[in-house]
Each structure stands twice: as structure tokens, then as C-alpha cells.
A and B are shown apart, each in its own frame.
Chain A
């Protein structure tokens, strides 16, 4: 009971300190509220420094993961018989809000540090060499599921558009307002696919029509769906969940 009281006081104090409409900060603050007040009932100032410390360590963990990441190490692949059926739908919204996209209207925008910035139609993308893989999708929540994705090796696509492969980040914007970004070494990994199909069929809406970036070397939230824009940059682009406190590298 006492804990709960402390917590609500701390939340009020924290809200007072918040400089207006920053939902992002509010979400981030919530990160540690439960935890710290549970342990010690610390004051708001301590709360902030604890949060800063945790975010700093998380950035340090990005570096550790980049160091651990072996570009030649492949994620395990599985026989099709081991596919999880049905493969779970997962998003930050319910299935009723899955974006509806028409192939006729769709264009993939390309920008940033690339030589060729022309937009891509799905027909053009389907003309690039296609490959497929059966890999394990690991969710940050802990569950995992095996699926079969097909499409264009992302490295092939990046080479096609003349991307600056020495740039730090590749960022993604999605039709459902999701956004995320990845490191260049992962973008160039042999199993990183710009997928257009699931289990041999056109990628269904619930799995990210018209395209999803599939990386078996990263957690689920790093795999954007309904991608409408790809950009190459040296400026940290963040991500939807990453800006709320999930680790940016999100490797597995």
C-alpha cells in the first residue's frame, strides 16, 4: 500500500517536471517508476539519474552487440515442416487497424546517401533476384515462431540503388506510422531480406504487405512491415519502440 502511494506521488512530481506534450519522455519516464519506488521510494531526482544511467548502459549494450555481431554467422534455418501455424500476427495495434495498401498506388521511396533515388514499384522489385528462407522470428517478449519469407536480399537492393555502404544507418518508414532503423553490417547480412512473400504467397496484410524487412539476426520489433520509405544516413534515426526505451540494436 505504501509503495503504491509513493509511486503515485512520484508520478505526479514527474508529470509536473515534464515540459509539455512530450509523450515520448512520459513513456520513457514510466520505464523506471515502478521499479525504483518499489526498491527505495527514491525521490524524483534519483529517478531521473537512474533512468539516464539505464539509457546509457543500453547504448553501451548497442556497442557490445555490434561488436558481438558476426556478419558471417548465419541464423539457423529450419525445414518447412517446422513452420509455426498459424504464424502469429503482431503489431502495436490490433488486426482491425492493419493498413490497406493498393499495389497500383504503391511506390517505395528511396532517399539519403544513395546514388539512385528513383521510387520502386512492386513489379520492379519482383524483377530482382528472389530468394527465400525458413527462420525463427524471436519477439522481444520472449516467444518465438518459425516462418518462411521470400524476397530480395537486402544487400542486393542496397547495391542496386548505389547506397553508401560505409554509412552508419538504414532507416525505414512504414504505412502504419511505424519506423525503425538498423546498423549497416546487419543491413548487409546474407539473411537480411526485403521480403515480398510469406510461405510462397504474396505477403499478406497481417504480415506486412507489400513488404517487410526480415532479419533473423534481430528481434521482431526491428523487422519493419508495410515499408514505404527507405533511407541511408549517418544521423541516428531511432525507432518507434526504441524511442520508448527498447534497446536500439535489438540483435539476437
Chain B
């Protein structure tokens, strides 16, 4: 790739828009979700009230069931445009799994190359695809928790209502873990943040 990455639009406008809308939706959903979790914790801990959204269970549910639409339609449009523009294929495939390993090793040694930001490396490809998978899983398990009677097939796929809550929880945890690493990497290469704002 010879082209100067300063000039070339790496992230099209629509993608940047979806990215930031998704961020808002995910923050609202996770913070309100933690408050909902607290009403009947699955595990032996609760989330500190100060970092939850909604004030009480009813408020958190209002936020959660409002922000879910934002995530859902934004995500649907994201998948649709990525598919029809061929961006998915162009940016994410092929993923060379040999590269994943060597890049991870390089990253841990602090020697991960990032001079060309216009192309994703193999670890990035994998990580971003996983983020998409986690969100899809959150939507599907969320549908079962929300409407277990109306989605029998999905319910059985999730292993029943109670199990769907556990799937929902771990998909959330995975997305939070992804976000933590993602933000850390952006902090290490701040130019990527600029790129997600102005496209280049």
C-alpha cells in the first residue's frame, strides 16, 4: 500500500456514524443492564449503583428497552451496508491465522507495526469480527430474556429462559473486555481515534 494514509478515506462516513451511534447505544445498554442485573444478581456480586443507569429497576428498564432499538437498527444498517458495499470482504478477509499468532507475539513485545493504518492486521480483523458476533449474541439472547414465549426456537437454542440470561451476561462481559482492549489500543495509537472521526 503506497498511498498516503493521510489523504485516503479509510473509514467511510456511514461507518463512522454507525460506530459512534453504536458507542452511545452500548454505553446506555451496559449501564442500564447492570442496574437490571442488580435487581436479581446471577452471581455473588452486584455492580456499584453509582456506575449504573436508571436510578431504579423501572428506570433502567426504560433506558434498556429504548436504547435496544438504537443498537438494533444501527447494527442492522451496519451489517447491510458492509455487505452491499463489499467492505466486509475487502477489510476483513482473508484472515491469516498464522499472522494472528505472530502479531500477538509482537504486540506483547511492544513491537506491533502500525505504520499503515489503512488496513487491519489479522488480530484487528478477528477482534472486530468478534465484537460484531458478541453484539449479535447479545441481541439474540436479549430477545429470549425479553420475550421467551414468543421466540420458542431461539429460547431452546439459548438453553431456556434462565440460561439466556447467563448467555446475555457473558456476551456483555466479552463486549466490555473487547472495549477495554480496544480503548487501550486506541490510546497507544491515538491517530486511529482521529481516523474514526474524520475518516483519514
Contact = CB atoms under 8 A, between A and B. Distances in A.
Interface in A196-252: 216-217, 241, 244-247, 251-252
A241 B56 CA distance: 12
A30 B37 contact: no
Interface string A21-49: 00000000011111100110000000000
A32 B59 contact: yes
A68 B146 CA distance: 11
Given A53-B66, A252-B148, A144 B61 contact: no
A142 B40 contact: yes
The SS class assigned to the B binding surface is helix
A17 interface: no
A115 to B, nearest CB: 31
Contacts of B40: 139, 141-143
Contacts of A73: 149-150, 152
B2 to A, nearest CB: 44
B147 A252 contact: yes
A244 to B, nearest CB: 6
Interface residues of B, number: 36
Contact of A68 (B49, B52, B62, B150): B150
Contact of A34 (B55, B146, B148, B152): B55
Nearest to B65: A61
Interface residues of A, number: 41
B148 A31 contact: no
Interface of A: 3-4, 30-35, 38-39, 53-55, 57-58, 61, 65, 68-70, 73-76, 136, 138-144, 216-217, 241, 244-247, 251-252
18 contacts: A3-B50, A31-B54, A33-B55, A34-B55, A34-B59, A38-B31, A38-B51, A54-B63, A57-B65, A57-B69, A76-B152, A76-B155, A138-B161, A142-B40, A216-B149, A241-B58, A247-B62, A247-B65
Interface of B: 31-32, 36-37, 39-40, 42, 49-63, 65-66, 69, 145-150, 152, 155, 161-162, 165
Given A32-B62, A34-B49, A217-B149, 4 more contacts: A35-B31, A58-B62, A61-B65, A136-B161
